[in-house]
Amino acid sequence: MRGLVLDDVAITLDARPLVGPLSLDVAPGEVVTVMGPSGSGKSTLLAYVGGFLAKAFAARGRVLVDDLDVTGMPPEKRAVGILFQDDLLFPHLTVGGNLAFGLRAGVREASRRRAIVEEALAQAGLAGFADRDPATLSGGQRARVALLRTLLAEPRALLLDEPFGKLDAALRQDVRAFVFARARDRGLPTLMVTHDAEDARAAGGRVVEVG
């Protein structure tokens, strides 16, 4: 099936069970929220799906993206985009440079790359921001740019690791709506971990409790 599949995933730390066993199908365009208190291993689950599981953990089970088994693959081969709690915009590149960094290399001509980047910015209400330094942006703007950068890499699934946790309340709603709308438009299966019930409500999808 298309979408993101977690098949009987269980993660242990020092032989103690931490998460799972958990099986989950996330359909294209669907947002599934994993909720749990801190220390419940929900971020560890996301790290496992993204391919970043630290050596200290042991895991079993499979992860499939559009029917492709990515379980043993390094993160860069999985085509799974991640948004972290920090936007992690690269400070040595401009806003446009950060987006071009995300844009796949298949688009070769510089002018074409530039046009795609500017179009993405314009659609996000950030027209004319390409040459700005990321440090001059507001938190909400940075969060948008981080999502745009991830989407330009054309992932087949999206992981959200408490992505709104550091935004203040007024911005949070805005950015949330922006992220969920984009993920749906692109038909991305999206897995979000959070401890904020409001996030889950806004996502409007299934909620899985862990821990």
Partner 1 sequence: MTTRPDVLRAAPALTLALFLVPIGAGLLGTLAPAFGVLPAIGESGFTLDAWRTLAEQPGIDASIRLTLTSGLLSTALALVFACGFAALASSRPGIARLERALAPLLATPHVAVAIGLAFLVASSGLLVRVVSPWLTGWERPPALAIVRDPYGLSYVAGLAIKETAFLVLMVLAAQGQVRAAQALAAARALGYAPLVAWAKVVLPAIYRQIRLPVYAVLAFSLSNVEVALVLAPGTPPPLAVLAMRWFSSWDLSLYPVAAAAATLQLAVVVAGIGAWRVAEAFVKRIHRAWCERGRRTGLAGPVLALGGAGGVVSGVAILAAIGVMALWSIAENWRYPDALPRALSLRTWERALPTMSDLVSTTAAIAAAASLLAVILALACLENEARRDLKPGARALWLLYVPLLVPQIAFLFGAQVALVRLDLDGTLTAVIWAHLLFVLPYVFLSLADPFRALDPRYARIAAGLGASPWRTFFTVKLPMLARPVATAFAVGFSVSVALYLPTLFAGAGRIMTLTTEAVTLSSGADRRVVGVTAFLQAALPLLVYAAALAGPGLIAARRRRVTLREGTP
List residues binding partner 1 (CB under 8 A): 50-52, 55, 74-77, 79-82, 84, 86, 88, 90-93, 96-97, 100-105, 107, 110, 113, 149-150, 153
CA distance 118 to 82: 22
Residue in 153, 154, 158 with CA at minimum distance from that of residue 188: 158
Strand partners, 135: none
Which residue, 103 or 208, is less far from partner 1 as judged by CB?
Answer: 103
Residue in 103, 87, 101 with CA at minimum distance from that of residue 161: 87
Which residue, 93 or 207, is less far from partner 1 as judged by CB?
Answer: 93
Which residue, 153 or 207, is less far from partner 1 as judged by CB?
Answer: 153
Q: CB burial class (10 A; 0-12, 13-18, 19+) of residue 151?
A: buried
Which residue, 124 or 202, is less far from partner 1 as judged by CB?
Answer: 124
Which residue, 146 or 200, is less far from partner 1 as judged by CB?
Answer: 146
Q: How far is the CB of 157 from partner 1 (least distance, A)?
A: 11
For the record, the structure tokens of 103 come out as 């844009």
CA distance 27 to 31: 8
For the record, the structure tokens of 73 come out as 């693959």
Task: Answer whether 134's CB lies under 8 Å from 89's CB.
Answer: yes
CA distance 137 to 31: 28
Q: How far is the CB of 115 from partner 1 (least distance, A)?
A: 13
CA distance 30 to 206: 9
Which residue, 19 or 83, is less far from partner 1 as judged by CB?
Answer: 83
Q: How far is the CB of 152 from partner 1 (least distance, A)?
A: 9
Q: How far is the CB of 128 from partner 1 (least distance, A)?
A: 18
Q: How far is the CB of 92 from partner 1 (least distance, A)?
A: 4
Q: How far is the CB of 197 from partner 1 (least distance, A)?
A: 27
CA distance 89 to 98: 7
